[in-house]
Amino acid sequence: MRILVLNGSPHLNGATSDMVNAFKKGAEEAGNEVICINAAHKNIRGCMGCDYCRNIEKGVCVQKDDMQEVYPEILRADMVVFASPIYYFTLSAQLQAVIHRTYAIDIPANVKKTALIMSSGDKFVYAAAITEYFQSIVEYWGVENAGIFTANGDDNKSGKKRRELYRFGKSLTEE
């Protein structure tokens, strides 16, 4: 499988990236190709809602920023993994911008499954992010939810979490 990870954490060595790295290692060992995009280090603006992509040039976003390099990756991926720290009880703005900008391409027919990886300081702060993920991705795209993984407090950057994410990646074998 070709797996695209969209990481919304600005911390390249942070807790979200730690889980992503463990996932990537396992998934690659299982024979998958894993592409990671650090959305927080890209210039990706919010959707303007201009409907250019719907009314003028179908599937094409009028904003020529770094999202232009993300679109082809989404359209080539068999699986998309969303990874983010929790910022004010939801996904980071950087990851939300990427999700909103998929409005231009609408439902990527190639994507069959997704997963969600989140890091936070506290427990019980995932409800809004999970709702957004389910409603905007799993239900709207009509894809399989392959798993939701969270780490908070001492679990962040722990061996236990790394093993969990590694095992998840390793379980993703070609179908």
Ligand X SMILES: Cc1cc2nc3c(=O)[nH]c(=O)nc-3n(C[C@H](O)[C@H](O)[C@H](O)COP(=O)(O)O)c2cc1C
Binding site for ligand X (CB under 6 A): 9, 11, 14-17, 85-89, 119-122, 125, 156
Non-local (6+) Cβ contacts of 100 within 8 A are 46, 47
Q: How far is the CB of 38 from ligand X (least distance, A)?
A: 11
Residue pair 75/108 in contact by the 8 Å Cβ criterion:
yes
Closest C-alpha to 149, from 166, 136, 174: 166
**What is d(CA 65, CA 85) in angstroms, rounded to the nearest whole number?**
23
Which residue lies nearest ligand X, judged by its C-beta?
A: 14
Contact 119, 15 (CB under 8 A): yes
- Return the number of the residue (23 or 87) whose C-beta is nearest ligand X: 87
Min. distance of Cβ 126 from ligand X in angstroms? Answer: 9
**Closest distance between ligand X and the C-beta of residue 170, in Å?**
22
Q: Which residues contact 5 (CB under 8 A, 6 or more apart)?
A: 20, 23, 24, 34, 35, 36, 37, 80, 81, 83
Minimum distance from residue 40 beta carbon to ligand X (Å): 9
Beta carbon nearer to ligand X, 32 or 152: 152
* C-beta of 124 vs 175, nearer to ligand X: 124
Looking at the Cβ atoms of 17 and 102, the one nearer to ligand X is 17
